[in-house]
Structure 1
Amino acid sequence: MESYVRQLYPEIAKQRPNWRLVALVSQETNLDLISWFPGEIVQMKIQNKSPFRWAFGEIISVNRFAKKIEANLIHSPANIGPIWGRTAVVLTLQDLLSFEKPQLFGQLTGVFLRTLIRMSANHAKSILTISQFSKLSIEKHLSPTKKKIKVSELAGGRVSNTPKKDNFSNQNRAKAQLLSGGNRLPHKNFEKLIQSLALIPEPERPLLVITGGSDNDPLAKLVTELALESYVELKSWIPQEQIEELYADSTIYVFPTLFEGFGLPILEAMSRGCPVICSDIPVLREVGGEAAIYVDTNSPAELAKVITQTLRDTSTLDVLASRGIQRASEFTWERTAEKTITVFEECLPNQEFGLLRNEGH
């Protein structure tokens, strides 16, 4: 979600400079980290420490503030939004993970989230989502909202200073490196990726870097059990500059996820010329097209086989890098903003004036 708002709102401001944008954020938000926002930033008296408090803020406090400043429109970018009030709401449903994978949530939390999402979707004047896959999921679980759903795909971003890695046969690498990243929720499936690494013979075994963890990374235990400490580096969330260095140093980006609303990481890797191996699931095929290698990531043996074969074949790496760059160029944040603005303007009471009061975290 962070990439979504960080890229989308500045582009909206560029295309509609007469709109006034206001971001509502929680008390804990470090304002320096959202200095990119192209408008006013208001810290609400809402704590983000628990999902219940955050949800309360989304459904109650946002609408009250919108009424106070006479906002024309509220955009809720993270699945939950106001469930009452006269101010028009555009709700972005990134995915319906709590519906599609209810086993990942505690019973009470799952019921709570699903109820709030249903209520938010029913109240919203229009719903945005980020892929055709997610649109179908929403139609399946929230069927009354079919007529309001519009798709606005994400994009991989622009990286002007990163060299395109489209000639792997000429690279002199002491050791191949795999890159992956994401939170440590079970559906991200990093355990199978680590297990696959252990199945690759040592002479051909690449290094593996997984970003997005924490100080007490739950993957560390498995790395130790498989004696892979010399091959696996677990990193927390890191600055963008370091991410770019990792892309430049990595031979393949591996994305073993079992569920996504879009699959932005593979598009971001492709935009840097980094070949992609990912899970064979519908949404990743929608995003990656013919520019990735798809594999059953539930099978460590199959994943290890595909990684090994791909690392051996530099011509395949060259083709994947070239196709990836082309594929990523088909998705732009300009187009994402254009589609989003179209939905906003359909909901705005005065399209000529175009005042937008925006909500985001």
Structure 2
Amino acid sequence: MRVAVELVYFTGRKGGTESYARRLFAALGELPEAGVELVGIAGRELRAAPPSWFPGEVVHLPVAGESRPQWAAAVALAVGPRARALRADLLHCPANFGPALRVLPTVVTVHDLLPLRHPEWVPGGRAAAVRRLQRRTLAVADRIIADSAATAADIEAVGGRAGADVDVVPLGAPPVSASVSAGVRGPATAGRPFVLAGGNRMPHKNFARLIEAWALIPAGERPLLVVTGSHGADPLVNEVRRHGLAGDVDLRGWVDAAELADLYATASAYVFPTLFEGFGLPVLEAMAAGCPVLASDLPVLREAGGDAMETFDPASAPGIAAAVRRLVADPARQAELRAAGLQRAAELTWRRTAEQTVASYRRVAAARTP
């Protein structure tokens, strides 16, 4: 089976959705028995920096993935015809959106329905256009992969697709390194304790409330908060200044994989205060790195992390502050969560995600066979 993959979105700076693509297709490359040949359709960025993680030929469109209008137009109108010209049997769009017209059998991975569920959180006046594109994607795709049962339920209830057309395929955790398995922790734990957080700065990530919570922790107990994930000027600077936390919050910006791994390995905890997710991949990434997790008490995060994390009400700054204080002051509980997190991460592998993704491909192929 020859599968074309939409890679225009991926530029090396796209966070969790790009992590999904990197790990999924690398895992697919390790399944020769699946009989899947991959060909990627990318934009300009991957011409300059070819994706070593993609196990197949990559062709390029003259568009920039960093430009949302160019990417949206390419996905809606250009990727399908290019996939057909490449003699693909099937097109997989792994970044929430797919073609506006059915050109060949298509599978779309829908990570979340944020534009339909919470259009008020879509920035830049793009909500209406994004909603139209997402509804069109849901109508045209032959099959939809959802990261979680929560997202699958949204696709049926809000997106209007029958549950029988949706496959729930949980994401995997990164492999646990030998040093993490052996309990080796980095040198930063010998200094001031710090708690790590990360993600884009969209409103549902809830970082303003996290900083508000930090201000409620007594100065003598307050750990350093390191927040990664922004591009360019960080809008959280004003929140930090407003709460007088310049010495207590480190807005680290975008970090590469090596620096992020070091932060996971040396943090007292990873805090994830999100209000809405399609899966919650950072929870598993932190667990696989041996970092105790504090996360919002949301059903979708319970799917990802199980009982291997502490939870809080993400709408309550005092609740977040209390949860952080308890965990940072309790090394024994940190050790328990570290062990439980490693076990949970070992249960969810990218090989399993790849195998279930191939099963989705085969369902589409079988439905198209006369």
TM-score (norm 2): 0.89
How much has 1:218 moved relative to structure 2?
Answer: 0.5
Decide whether aligned partners of structure 1 residues 113 and 311 sit closer, same or farther in structure 2, where only a CA change above 3 A counts: same
Alignment of 1:284-323 (within 5 A): 284-323=301-340
1:91 pairs with 2:108: yes
How many angstroms apart in 2 are the aligned matches of 1:350 and 1:297? 43
1:268 pairs with 2:281: no
Decide whether aligned partners of structure 1 residues 165 and 313 sit closer, same or farther in structure 2, where only a CA change above 3 A counts: farther
Decide whether aligned partners of structure 1 residues 303 and 346 sit closer, same or farther in structure 2, where only a CA change above 3 A counts: same
Which residue in the other structure is 2:37 paired with?
20
Q: Deviations over 1:122-172 (max 9, x none)?
A: 22111101001100111111223322100110012113144248699xx97
1:278 pairs with 2:287: no
1:119 pairs with 2:133: no
What letter is aligned with 1:267?
A: L
Supply the RMSD in Å over aligned alpha carbons: 2.3
1:189 pairs with 2:198: no
1:334 pairs, out of 322, 331, 351, with 351
2:242 pairs, out of 201, 212, 225, with 225
What letter is aligned with 1:320?
A: L
Decide whether aligned partners of structure 1 residues 191 and 54 sit closer, same or farther in structure 2, where only a CA change above 3 A counts: same
How many angstroms apart in 1 are the aligned matches of 2:145 and 2:367? 20
How much has 1:16 moved relative to structure 2?
Answer: 3.0
How many angstroms apart in 1 are the aligned matches of 2:321 and 2:269? 13
Looking at both structures, which has the greater relative contact order when contacts are Cα pairs under 8 Å and sequence separation is at least 6?
A: 1
| Identical-pair percentage | 37
How many angstroms apart in 1 are the aligned matches of 2:267 and 2:106? 42
The secondary structure found in structure 2 opposite 1:34 is coil
How many angstroms apart in 2 are the aligned matches of 1:3 and 1:313? 32
Decide whether aligned partners of structure 1 residues 107 and 251 sit closer, same or farther in structure 2, where only a CA change above 3 A counts: closer
How many angstroms apart in 2 are the aligned matches of 1:326 and 1:136? 27
Q: Deviations over 1:248-301 (max 9, x none)?
A: 110000000101000000111011111111111111112111111110122111
Which residue in the other structure is 1:163 paired with?
180
What letter is aligned with 1:2?
A: E
1:82 pairs, out of 83, 86, 99, with 99
Decide whether aligned partners of structure 1 residues 291 and 165 sit closer, same or farther in structure 2, where only a CA change above 3 A counts: farther
The secondary structure found in structure 1 opposite 2:162 is helix
Q: Return 155-164 or 81-90, whichever deviates more.
A: 155-164
Judge conservation of contact 1:165–1:272 (CA < 8 Å) in 2: no
Q: Return 285-294 or 48-57, whichever deviates more.
A: 48-57
Which residue in the other structure is 1:6 paired with?
22
How many angstroms apart in 2 are the aligned matches of 1:139 and 1:159? 35
Judge conservation of contact 2:308–2:337 (CA < 8 Å) in 1: yes
How many angstroms apart in 2 are the aligned matches of 1:192 and 1:166? 32
Q: Deviations over 1:54-106 (max 9, x none)?
A: 11110110111112122111000111111324411011111000011111136
How much has 1:110 moved relative to structure 2?
Answer: 1.9
Judge conservation of contact 2:270–2:293 (CA < 8 Å) in 1: yes
Judge conservation of contact 1:345–1:351 (CA < 8 Å) in 2: no
The secondary structure found in structure 2 opposite 1:144 is coil
How many angstroms apart in 1 are the aligned matches of 2:143 and 2:211? 41
Judge conservation of contact 2:155–2:161 (CA < 8 Å) in 1: no
Which residue in the other structure is 1:357 paired with?
none
How many angstroms apart in 1 are the aligned matches of 2:366 and 2:148? 27
Judge conservation of contact 1:72–1:349 (CA < 8 Å) in 2: no
The secondary structure found in structure 2 opposite 1:42 is strand
Which residue in the other structure is 2:271 paired with?
254
Q: Return 154-163 or 187-196, whichever deviates more.
A: 154-163
2:228 pairs, out of 211, 215, 219, with 211
1:45 pairs, out of 62, 77, 96, with 62
Which residue in the other structure is 1:358 paired with?
none
Q: For structure 1, list consecutive stretches of 5 or more residues without a partner in the other structure.
A: 353-361
Q: How many residues are treated as equivalent by the alignment?
A: 350
